[in-house]
């Protein structure tokens, strides 16, 4: 396990070394400046390494140095070189370390301040030509990277070193993972954010509230536990329960309440509830003043492992579910597993239906993990998929495993099965279809049954279902753009498979309705 280092990142001239040294004194820890370590190991200045061996050699030395500094088991304050975030491996290392408890703080300053401060040094090989425009270019390129790897950003302009140290210490204490909990990063460049997950994670809420927000509207429902008071004036709005409340009329009503409360574009919406609340609050925030920040506090299992993460927001129309919406990433998400205690059994079961799909997305043995760890792992899997494919152009579609069959089962049974229950049955149908098309063996089909049983989910399709009607419903699926499209398991994991033979689909339905 890596030590809980405090790592400072940021462009040259923001004060990483002076702040790092003072912070280390305050925390009674060693201070390590990776640039100084490189110079002492190499026996020459950074400017010399750049001049003789070039930037790529320097970056490789820097990567090795960072690895060895971070591997130390004694917690330290570490100041990094400004360009460390440009190396994929270094960013990966920083993100991995944060998952293990280290904290990364981004020190920032205006271009003018950085230009003024760097003017005193001649060991800045990238700072050639017009200093201000070079710094601007570097910041443009690196801003998203700093955002991605850091827990907090501190502006340093006009502040004394002592004050910056105090602010870093406050940020580090606020972003520390709750006891038994953790933070998962959704890495999306400038739109990156954290998901705090675990028992007591709600204590992390204040650290997710943007410093410049002046007021917040809390969107929730009657019966959903309330959040602790926050340090801003708030206005609480309860929206209705059930899919019939997930409408444009609800968004209009919310927006009018935003207006009456004086919510500005710099303020905050906080969605507190299940997937319905986070979808509606997220969509209202996405459209309010063309985009206002939103933090989600997920209170159902389904919202924790799925709906609140990834930025899909929207509402229903009489013509269909989730037809109007937007991608709008939150600024942070809280998944406090203590709140599952009040969740009705059926809602919990529906959440497990979505958790079950994660068993087939990676090779992890989720059943072997304690519940909170399993939920955190599902959050991590979803975060990784969203980071790779924010707009569902590819891999994100795999999160729809079991959904083509599941939606048809919901429709044809008139919603006798709730979404998560239908998805679980859908995965059994998909497993049989994959077996029939030679993609998986019997043993893998058995694994599907074993996973569903472990979550107390029904795994046998009711005998009296009309299979032809299911087939027609699947043909109407909005994803059925190339004949019948299914996400199917296989030797290489889940894949999207177009043009599936309807006869095979009917066979798999018959097998799913049989005794296993």
Ligand X SMILES: NC(=O)c1ccc[n+]([C@@H]2O[C@H](COP(=O)([O-])OP(=O)(O)OC[C@H]3O[C@@H](n4cnc5c(N)ncnc54)[C@H](O)[C@@H]3O)[C@@H](O)[C@H]2O)c1
Nearer to ligand X, 217 or 309 (CB): 309
Catalytic: 396? Answer: yes
Catalytic: 478? Answer: no
- Per the CB < 8 A criterion, the answer to whether 277 and 227 are in contact is no
* SS3 at position 41: helix
User: Residue 82's closest CA among 123, 41, 130?
Assistant: 123
- Per the CB < 8 A criterion, the answer to whether 305 and 253 are in contact is no
Catalytic: 143? Answer: no
Residues counted in the chain: 516
Which of residues 164, 184, 276, 408 is near ligand X by CB under 6 A?
A: 276
350 binds ligand X (CB under 6 A): yes
Catalytic: 99? Answer: no
Catalytic: 415? Answer: no
422 binds ligand X (CB under 6 A): no
Catalytic: 185? Answer: no
- Residue 26, CA distances (Å) to 69, 70, 192 in order: 20, 20, 30
Which of residues 70, 79, 302, 422 is near ligand X by CB under 6 A?
A: 302
Nearer to ligand X, 194 or 347 (CB): 347
Q: Under 8 Å CB-to-CB from 359, ≥6 apart: which residues? A: 366, 367, 447, 451
300 binds ligand X (CB under 6 A): yes
Catalytic: 382? Answer: yes
Binding map of ligand X across residues 305-334, x = CB under 6 A, - = no contact: -xx--x-x---------x------------
- Per the CB < 8 A criterion, the answer to whether 385 and 399 are in contact is yes
Beta strands in 230-290 (DSSP E): 234-238, 268-273
101 binds ligand X (CB under 6 A): no
Residue with token string 């299940």: 274
Find the catalytic residue in 5, 357, 419, 467: 419
Residue-wise burial string across 182-191, b where 16 or more C-beta atoms lie within 10 A, e elsewhere:
bbbbbbbeeb
Find the catalytic residue in 62, 400, 448, 479: 400
Residue with token string 């889940």: 494
| Candidates 191-199, 231-239, 269-277, 483-491; binding stretch for ligand X (CB under 6 A) | 269-277
Nearer to ligand X, 151 or 279 (CB): 279
279 binds ligand X (CB under 6 A): yes
**Diameter of the chain measured on Cα atoms:** 81
Q: Which residues bind ligand X (CB under 6 A)?
A: 221, 223-225, 241, 243, 246, 273-277, 279, 299-300, 302-303, 306-307, 310, 312, 322, 339, 342-343, 347, 350
Residues belonging to the active site: 290, 312, 354, 382, 392, 396, 400, 403, 407, 419
């Amino acid at each position: 396990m890596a030590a809980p280092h405090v790592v400072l990142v940021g462009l040259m001239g923001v004060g990483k070394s002076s702040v790092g040294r003072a912070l280390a004194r305050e925390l009674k820890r060693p201070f390590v400046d990776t640039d100084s370590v490189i110079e002492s190991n190499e026996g020459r200045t950074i400017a010399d390494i750049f001049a003789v061996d070039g930037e790529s050699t320097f970056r490789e030395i820097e990567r090795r140095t960072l690895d060895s500094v971070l591997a130390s088991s004694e917690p330290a304050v570490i100041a990094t070189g400004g360009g460390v975030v440009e190396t994929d491996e270094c960013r990966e290392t920083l993100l991995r370390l944060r998952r293990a408890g280290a904290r990364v703080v981004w020190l920032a300053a205006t271009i003018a301040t950085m230009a003024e401060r760097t003017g005193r040094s001649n060991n800045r090989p990238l700072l050639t030509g017009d200093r201000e425009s070079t710094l601007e270019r570097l910041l443009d390129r690196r801003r998203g990277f700093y955002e991605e790897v850091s827990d907090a950003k501190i502006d340093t302009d006009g502040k004394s070193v002592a004050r910056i140290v105090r602010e870093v210490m406050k940020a580090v204490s606020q972003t520390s993972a709750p006891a038994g909990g953790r933070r998962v990063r959704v890495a999306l460049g400038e739109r990156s954010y954290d998901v705090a997950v675990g028992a007591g994670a709600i204590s992390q809420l204040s650290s997710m509230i943007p410093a410049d927000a002046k007021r917040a509207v809390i969107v929730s429902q009657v019966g959903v536990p309330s959040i602790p008071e926050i340090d801003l004036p708030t206005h609480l709005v309860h929206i209705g329960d059930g899919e019939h409340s997930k409408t444009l009329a609800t968004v209009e009503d919310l927006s009018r309440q935003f207006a009456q409360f004086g919510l500005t574009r710099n303020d905050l919406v906080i969605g507190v509830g299940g997937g319905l609340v986070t979808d509606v609050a997220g969509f209202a925030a996405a459209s309010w003043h063309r985009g206002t920040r939103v933090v989600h506090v997920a209170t159902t299992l389904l919202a924790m492992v799925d709906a609140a993460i990834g930025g899909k927001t929207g509402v229903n129309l009489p013509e269909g579910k989730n037809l109007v919406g937007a991608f709008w990433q939150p600024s942070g998400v809280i998944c406090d597993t203590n709140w599952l205690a009040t969740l009705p059994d059926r809602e919990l079961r529906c959440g497990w239906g979505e958790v079950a799909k994660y068993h087939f997305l990676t090779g992890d043995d989720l059943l072997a993990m304690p519940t909170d760890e399993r939920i955190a792992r599902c959050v991590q899997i979803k975060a990784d998929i969203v980071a790779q494919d924010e707009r569902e152009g590819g891999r994100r579609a795999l999160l729809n495993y079991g959904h083509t069959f599941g939606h048809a089962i919901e429709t044809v049974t008139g919603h006798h099965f709730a979404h998560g229950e239908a998805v679980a049955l859908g995965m059994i149908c998909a497993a049989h279809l994959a077996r029939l098309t030679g993609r998986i063996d019997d043993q893998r089909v058995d694994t599907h049954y074993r996973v569903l049983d472990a979550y107390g989910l029904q795994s046998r399709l009711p005998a009296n279902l009309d299979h032809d009607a299911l087939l027609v419903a699947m043909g109407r699926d909005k994803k059925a753009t190339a004949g019948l499209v299914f996400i199917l398991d296989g030797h290489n994991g889940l894949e999207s498979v177009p043009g599936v033979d309807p006869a095979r689909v009917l066979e798999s339905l018959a097998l799913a309705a049989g005794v296993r």
